[in-house]
Amino acid sequence: MNLISKEQATQMLVGKKLVVGLSGGIDSIALLHCVSQLPDCEVRAIHVNHGISHKADEWQGFCEQVCQSLNIAFEALEVSFDTNKNLEANARTARYTAIKNNLGDDEYLLTGHHLDDQAETILLALKRGTGLDGLCGMAPLSYVHGINICRPLLNNSREEIESYAAQKKLSWIEDESNTDTSYDRNFLRHEVLPLLNKRWSGFSKNVARTAEVCRSTKEVTSQFTAEHILELTQQGFISNDLLKGKPTSYQFFVMREWFRSLGIKAQSHARMKEIERTIINSRFDALPRIELQKNTWLTRVKNRIEISR
Q: Strands 289-293 and 296-301, how do they pair?
A: antiparallel
DSSP codes of every residue in 57-109 = HHHHHHHHHHHHHHT-EEEEEE-----SS-HHHHHHHHHHHHHHHHS-TTEEE
What confidence tier does 184 reach under pLDDT thresholds 50, 70, 90? very high
Cβ atoms of 46 and 77 within 8 Å: the answer is yes
DSSP codes of every residue in 184-217 = HHHHIIIIIHHHHHHHSTTHHHHHHHHHHHHHHH
Sign of CA dihedral 220, 221, 225, 226: negative
Q: How far apart are the first and last CA of the chain?
A: 55
Cα 179 → chain centroid: 22
**Summary mean pLDDT of the chain:** 92
Query: Lowest-confidence range among 118-122, 159-163, 283-287?
Result: 283-287
Q: List CB contacts of 306: < 8 A, sequence separation 6 or more.
A: 236, 237, 298, 299, 300
Q: Strands 107-110 and 147-150, how do they pair?
A: parallel
The pLDDT of residue 220: 85
Sheet holding 107-110: strands in order across? Answer: 73-78, 42-49, 17-21, 107-110, 147-150, 141-144
Structural domains for the chain: 6-209 (3.40.50.620), 235-308 (1.20.59)
pLDDT digits (tens, 9 = 90+) for 186-235: 999 999 999 999 999 999 999 999 999 999 998 888 777 778 888 888 88
The pLDDT of residue 247: 92
CA dist list (Å): 163 to 66, 117, 167, 208: 19, 17, 6, 20
What confidence tier does 236 reach under pLDDT thresholds 50, 70, 90? confident
Say if pTM beats, i.e. exceeds, 0.85.
no
The fraction of the chain above a pLDDT of 70, given in percent, is 100
Tell me how many degrees the CA angle 184-109-140 measures, rounded to the nearest 5: 65
DSSP codes of every residue in 227-252 = HHHHHHHTTSSEEGGGTTTS-HHHHH
What confidence tier does 277 reach under pLDDT thresholds 50, 70, 90? very high
pLDDT digits (tens, 9 = 90+) for 63-90: 999 999 999 999 999 998 888 888 888 8
Of 219, 298, 309, the C-alpha closest to 251 is: 298
